[in-house]
Structure 1
């Protein structure tokens, strides 16, 4: 049930109502003491108290900016929960927040409430209630936090405490900000953690590193002008890069972890507005922000009771992380931050504008991406990144707004390694895996190169290059033992009930699947592998619960092998299959040319 079904999501009042409509389904799930929210029985890796605190705190990211200029009917519930949750003698006490506790994450939203709407969360409290709140929040100044965007949670808490004149640690806050500054690369790019740790570059950059920095710059800018200006300048630069991750309909390229936060993808654009930073015209910024929220709130992301579900474009726990509780998706409420602006702010007075004209190819070397757009299909070729949060989310060859990506299934056999847009290898033909990490990554023009060593004695060097509407992959496999391989194209929505509505064409070295909603295909440019269409395990794809993957299968004896493929996908099932590639080999090198004779990629083992 979509509680926003009748909301057009166009005007400021529409978005104000959206916050209330998203919150209302949570109200029946509040505990008696109003400090905890228990919507379902599923859990996360942390204790239930932290998950139930998420349900209390995360909606504040939307409620607080709404309340700056508008009334919100449920503040009495929230104040009751705030008092009981911070009272050590109450049965719903949130408890201690030890080192690396999930509770520190949720403290940040309460700190924000103190800073922006003290009349709702501070002034109505008694002296004793204030003291217990301050004591509970100050635990974040006594605990160790993960060395990443989590340090901003300490900043948000102390910012809020400071704003109401309560006990806090501003010196520790500044040291945390200094540490966060050390994660900055250049030209608007951060890593989410120490650079020497190969921390990933993912959505935590826009919706955390930049977002919190812009809040700090706005609220403390007069007192800390140098740091505030750095945060604004970095965000200005990043905006000119981040715009390439969004398509005309508002969708953003899915990549990395925590994608169940969904329209948090819009929070960066809202943060720019809150900070008064407009490196793009206000109408463009508002359009990027509004289209993303609107697209998300038209998707089947709700439970029968109107709650935000765990999943991406539909409910599925299979694509979630171990820290995703039933309440985790409400971090998406950060998208509503522009509601804290005056109604006459240029953001609100500007009409939505479409995306400006953007290039078909753009290299983002800091992120290890080549962003490509063609005929309604936005996708990024990608270099692998290190992460403990799921190899499929960081190491595939391509990530697409239209086709999403898939995670590994529960069974270890063929087609269940999450091999769409990936090369999966096996030693026994049964247990397959895709890269968990890569080394020796670089970018040469629009060609990405990386190395993967899945086992001792087995190495894969990969080159990725655009050839719109295609992209080309070349792999140099060196192995001291027999190896099996599966290489997949994009996962295609297996739409509808009528099996006669699709077409699978496997011939020679080519496999293409056509469904009413699109086309996906892959060609073996050396003709050594077998083309098949693989039915993926249900609910493993981010965008669609039932998908197929055009796949090339091979077996390789000890030695050196060159593999090459051309890959195409389109939301138009009538897309012509007319590109021909010419492959030239010369001992230790491979050159791929397109039908016009233009060299797409050159690979040489002597240059590794």
Structure 2
């Protein structure tokens, strides 16, 4: 049964309850308006008495103070409310936010005043949705007295314009603080606004892509598109285009250029590829597409508004199926497909996930716009299945039932939990998600999905790729795109990795090859496939050995964390390991197929097994296993590994008996790679 909430009462989700968010059939603008209301309604009991703060359920701490955390809980839902109001919609709780702005910016309100920001203060981030709300929804400013407006000016403009900010997408937040005041005749700094945009332009790298930071940083994740930079460029073009037509035109042009790249991150099921930090913002990953319509951008061929609408609505529908993302009170939790603190950043407070409300920019789009009047279409009917993206250093693929990106070279510029998993993995999938380490002891805790790990202490501690230098190249007569990266897990162990996308003949396989030189120490190696659910369909108990009749299980046997010496848990690396549950993933050592072409570098003998990953390590499935190849590289040795990674997700029209249909059809090791192996 679906849960409901009455005005003034909180939503309580019981054992069999379904959140109202999941019970709304999505088809048109009115249904998306109802979806937003279902997201905002459960917040009502968590407002402070005068509405200036929202304390979402969960007492977890973040790197900033508790007041800033509660300001975050108040301001982030404003993204959705402001978009709704800008499009002529209404919400029963609109006055909550008007009252909250009044109290939160009043320095005489000892209990609810937000406090002036200091340098690099989280309050600066929350000024962005507030600034947009003031600019796009005039009724908010109109609801304030003259004294209250002066308070808003002092808090939103005077304070932030005097403070230092991180040299990242944050600078856009100050732009919108000033823009919100400017649009309402308030005091603002045009000089600061212009200077910030001028500096943000130095992040631009070409072909529509902006980096999230200055030269020397390579970080192009969802902050470069939907979370911040492209999204806010388009909002600026809409709101300030009459006064700043040149910048508006440039921002629209960049969006046109990058749209044909960004389309590759969303699959036919509505799933986006999780990559990088802050993916706990969930459906904000799709906000770029609604912003295209909001800013009246002319779509680049062959995209149509029906395709854009399809990307947005399919994405929201997929999140409707993720029924574990809610607290028992109906609020969003920290996590991805379920509550998960292991993947959270140190800035993710209980109110942080409401940055997801960016997705509702489509509600600011008039109902007469072709975004709403067009029939949904599938963009994969017209864009290529394989595409190399120069600036982010990605090769995109939509073969084998999921969207996937191969990645090299990106890295976060500051310490971040699980940074090697969020940026340094070799492959990221819309179906399987990435895995983060819930601990730092043995493979079970490191959870090396789509990563190659090295240990020099017998397998207790592991190091993987984090920093690397990379190049995007083409190889072979058909000019196959290949990512090549150089990295060193230890100062005296060096790796050259080649990432090769799937081919039409073997769509469920991609290849990664590693040339490893262990100059100064012996190392154990662990090469992991994607992570997949490790539970049986009937009862949720651990997978048994593979049963073709039931269409699920593992080969070799999935063993617990404490009895890995069991012989039946291991297999020859050439035979590989696989797990079948929600589709199938697997891994096989292909270096033996190269034969004598390897020349002087020996063809390493690896063994296959399944890592029983610690629970809650994966973004999408809370219980997973990772088919893995393990090996040893002796001190002074030079070794080639050639690894085939198999993935065939479950999905519409994919019967269980087909999950392993491509497992025995191995991918061909390209001739150019054989030649390079022989030349080393």
Q: TM-score range by the shorter chain?
A: over 0.9
Partner of 1:385: 410
**Contact 1:447–1:601 (CA<8 Å) still a contact in 2?**
no
Partner of 2:664: 578
Using the TM superposition, give the Cα deviation of residue 440 of structure 1 relative to its aligned residue in structure 2, in angstroms.
4.4
Match of 2:89 among 70, 91, 104: 70
Given the alignment of the two structures, is residue 160 of structure 1 paired with residue 189 of structure 2, yes or no?
Answer: no
**TM-score when scaled to structure 1?**
0.94
For these two proteins, the number of residue pairs brought into alignment is 592
Partner of 2:307: 284
Question: After superposition, what is the alpha-carbon deviation per residue over 1:513-546, rounded to whole angstroms, capped at 9, x for unaligned?
Answer: 2323111111112351111111101001011000
**Contact 2:224–2:230 (CA<8 Å) still a contact in 1?**
yes
Q: What residue ranges of structure 1 are gaps of 5+ in the alignment?
A: 583-591
Using the TM superposition, give the Cα deviation of residue 599 of structure 1 relative to its aligned residue in structure 2, in angstroms.
5.2
Secondary structure at 1:286 match in 2: helix
Using the TM superposition, give the Cα deviation of residue 364 of structure 1 relative to its aligned residue in structure 2, in angstroms.
0.9
Given the alignment of the two structures, is residue 492 of structure 1 paired with residue 532 of structure 2, yes or no?
Answer: yes
- Give the 3 Å change call, closer, same or farther, for CA 336–601 of structure 1 in structure 2: farther
Partner of 2:467: 437
Using the TM superposition, give the Cα deviation of residue 200 of structure 1 relative to its aligned residue in structure 2, in angstroms.
0.1
Partner of 1:511: 576
Question: After superposition, what is the alpha-carbon deviation per residue over 1:225-263, rounded to whole angstroms, capped at 9, x for unaligned?
Answer: 111100000001111111111110111111000000010
Partner of 2:566: none
The 1-side partners of 2:27 and 2:431 are apart by 24
Given the alignment of the two structures, is residue 349 of structure 1 paired with residue 358 of structure 2, yes or no?
Answer: no
Using the TM superposition, give the Cα deviation of residue 602 of structure 1 relative to its aligned residue in structure 2, in angstroms.
5.1
Given the alignment of the two structures, is residue 29 of structure 1 paired with residue 46 of structure 2, yes or no?
Answer: yes
**Contact 1:417–1:434 (CA<8 Å) still a contact in 2?**
no
Using the TM superposition, give the Cα deviation of residue 3 of structure 1 relative to its aligned residue in structure 2, in angstroms.
2.3
**Contact 1:529–1:554 (CA<8 Å) still a contact in 2?**
yes
Match of 2:646 among 568, 579, 587: 568
Secondary structure at 2:665 match in 1: coil
Question: After superposition, what is the alpha-carbon deviation per residue over 1:322-373, rounded to whole angstroms, capped at 9, x for unaligned?
Answer: 1111111100101111211222122111121122333231111211111112
Secondary structure at 1:122 match in 2: helix
Partner of 1:85: 104
Partner of 2:6: none
Partner of 1:421: 450
**TM-score when scaled to structure 2?**
0.84
- Give the 3 Å change call, closer, same or farther, for CA 606–146 of structure 1 in structure 2: farther
Using the TM superposition, give the Cα deviation of residue 18 of structure 1 relative to its aligned residue in structure 2, in angstroms.
1.1
Secondary structure at 1:182 match in 2: helix
Given the alignment of the two structures, is residue 60 of structure 1 paired with residue 78 of structure 2, yes or no?
Answer: yes
Question: After superposition, what is the alpha-carbon deviation per residue over 1:386-427, rounded to whole angstroms, capped at 9, x for unaligned?
Answer: 213311100001000111110112142133223110101111
The 1-side partners of 2:191 and 2:318 are apart by 42
The 2-side partners of 1:462 and 1:80 are apart by 56
- Give the 3 Å change call, closer, same or farther, for CA 314–367 of structure 1 in structure 2: same
The 2-side partners of 1:448 and 1:601 are apart by 16
The 2-side partners of 1:373 and 1:41 are apart by 40
The 1-side partners of 2:435 and 2:210 are apart by 26
Q: Which moved more, 1:524-533 or 1:109-118?
A: 524-533
Using the TM superposition, give the Cα deviation of residue 606 of structure 1 relative to its aligned residue in structure 2, in angstroms.
6.6
Secondary structure at 1:197 match in 2: coil
Q: Which moved more, 1:368-377 or 1:410-419?
A: 410-419
Secondary structure at 1:545 match in 2: coil
Secondary structure at 1:531 match in 2: strand
Partner of 1:134: 153
What does 1:51-450 correspond to in 2, within 5 Å?
51-68=69-86, 69-90=88-109, 91-119=111-139, 121-138=140-157, 139-194=159-214, 196-207=215-226, 208-277=228-297, 278-279=299-300, 280-300=303-323, 301-355=325-379, 356-387=381-412, 388=414, 389=416, 390-429=419-458, 430-444=460-474, 445-450=480-485
Partner of 1:540: 617
The 2-side partners of 1:348 and 1:517 are apart by 34
Partner of 2:497: 462
Using the TM superposition, give the Cα deviation of residue 33 of structure 1 relative to its aligned residue in structure 2, in angstroms.
2.2
The 2-side partners of 1:601 and 1:174 are apart by 54
The 2-side partners of 1:368 and 1:602 are apart by 24
Q: What residue ranges of structure 2 are gaps of 5+ in the alignment?
A: 1-12, 14-18, 475-479, 545-551, 557-569, 592-603, 651-658
The 1-side partners of 2:616 and 2:409 are apart by 24
Secondary structure at 1:416 match in 2: helix
Aligned-residue CA RMSD (Å): 1.7
The 2-side partners of 1:312 and 1:124 are apart by 36
Using the TM superposition, give the Cα deviation of residue 144 of structure 1 relative to its aligned residue in structure 2, in angstroms.
0.9
Using the TM superposition, give the Cα deviation of residue 89 of structure 1 relative to its aligned residue in structure 2, in angstroms.
2.0
The 1-side partners of 2:128 and 2:667 are apart by 53
Using the TM superposition, give the Cα deviation of residue 581 of structure 1 relative to its aligned residue in structure 2, in angstroms.
5.5
- Give the 3 Å change call, closer, same or farther, for CA 512–173 of structure 1 in structure 2: same
Using the TM superposition, give the Cα deviation of residue 308 of structure 1 relative to its aligned residue in structure 2, in angstroms.
1.0
The 1-side partners of 2:673 and 2:55 are apart by 54
**Contact 1:287–1:353 (CA<8 Å) still a contact in 2?**
yes
**Contact 1:246–1:252 (CA<8 Å) still a contact in 2?**
yes
Secondary structure at 2:155 match in 1: helix
Given the alignment of the two structures, is residue 478 of structure 1 paired with residue 517 of structure 2, yes or no?
Answer: yes
Question: After superposition, what is the alpha-carbon deviation per residue over 1:412-451, rounded to whole angstroms, capped at 9, x for unaligned?
Answer: 2133223110101111021112122112444334111111
Secondary structure at 1:374 match in 2: coil
Using the TM superposition, give the Cα deviation of residue 604 of structure 1 relative to its aligned residue in structure 2, in angstroms.
5.2
**Contact 2:609–2:629 (CA<8 Å) still a contact in 1?**
yes
Secondary structure at 2:182 match in 1: helix
Q: Which moved more, 1:511-520 or 1:275-284?
A: 511-520
Using the TM superposition, give the Cα deviation of residue 548 of structure 1 relative to its aligned residue in structure 2, in angstroms.
0.4
Question: After superposition, what is the alpha-carbon deviation per residue over 1:53-94, rounded to whole angstroms, capped at 9, x for unaligned?
Answer: 111000111101111202221122112211111111211111
Q: Which moved more, 1:414-423 or 1:479-488?
A: 414-423
